Amino acid sequence: MSDAFRLDNRVAVVTGACGKLGPIWVDALVEAGATVAALELPGATSSDAFNTVTARGGNRVRRFDCDITDRASIERAADAVAAQMGAPVILVNNAGIDQPPDSPAGRHPLHELPIDQFRRMVEVNLLGTFQVIQVFGERMAAGAGGSIINIGSLYASVSPDPHFYDHIAGNVPFIKSPAYGASKAGVVNLSKFFATHWADRGVRVNTLSPGGVLAGQDGQFKAKYGARVPLHRMAEADDLKGPLVFLASAASSYVTGHELRVDGGFTAW
């Protein structure tokens, strides 16, 4: 059975590879045997985590420029990946933007939240994901098929608890943007749509929705968040790798249109 989880000799694509979660997905795929095309914005600085993963992966990780809000950029990246690595059979739609609580002087009350901020988050998180599915997914559907994993979020299902953030100083209380959860909820539904439309073309489409992931959050936030989770902690990188490999591999061959929540039980109560 363990062989069903192997990804040897398969080409995978990960968007947003240098971001917070990107290196986790790249590392998981490499560990399972895949070669990975790591897509990132042109000129974006490689994170330490990404550099560590690429050093470990060696020639099985290659970076490509791609702006997921630009259809032509996605097409160029798809052509380059196919020419240099072969046809991908795994796509991890990870690229997106969030709102980190690190701008205490630039916040807005909810009723004054600039529409341009809302629009930009939807443009990247939802419309960008849609375009990448169109380009890479259609090529998969026209070829050997494969697995598409769209990265969702805990907040695709529930609203952020404002008490997690009420200790953070600023000109106005920090509010997690409503655009983030709305865009990620759209990603979940988008996965179901493509899962039903491309099932007979050999393409499975699922969403992996992580809960809060450790990334240098302050102690108060971690304590408040952990108290709300049945497993009493935030997720660590290794908590996410197995679920991704499961969805990418033949081990999940009868799973499509599903949202796999990796949230420590947060949404169970």
Q: Where in the sequence numbering do the catalytic residues fall?
A: 180
**Residue 87: helix, strand or coil by DSSP?**
coil
Q: Is 161 left (phi over 0), alpha (psi -120 to 50) or beta?
A: beta
| 3-class secondary structure per residue, 193-238 | HHHHHHHHHCEEEEEEEECCECCCCCHHHHHHHHHCCCCCCCECHH
Q: In the 8-state DSSP scheme, what is residue 35?
A: E
Report how far residue 207's alpha carbon sits from residue 209's, in angstroms, rounded to the nearest whole number.
6
Answer for the pair 210, 236: CB distance below 8 angstroms, yes or no. no
The kind and range of the H/E element at 148 are strand 146-151
| Beta pairing partners, 41 | none
Q: Are 17 and 24 in contact (CB under 8 A)?
A: no
Cα dihedral 123, 129, 132, 138 sign: negative
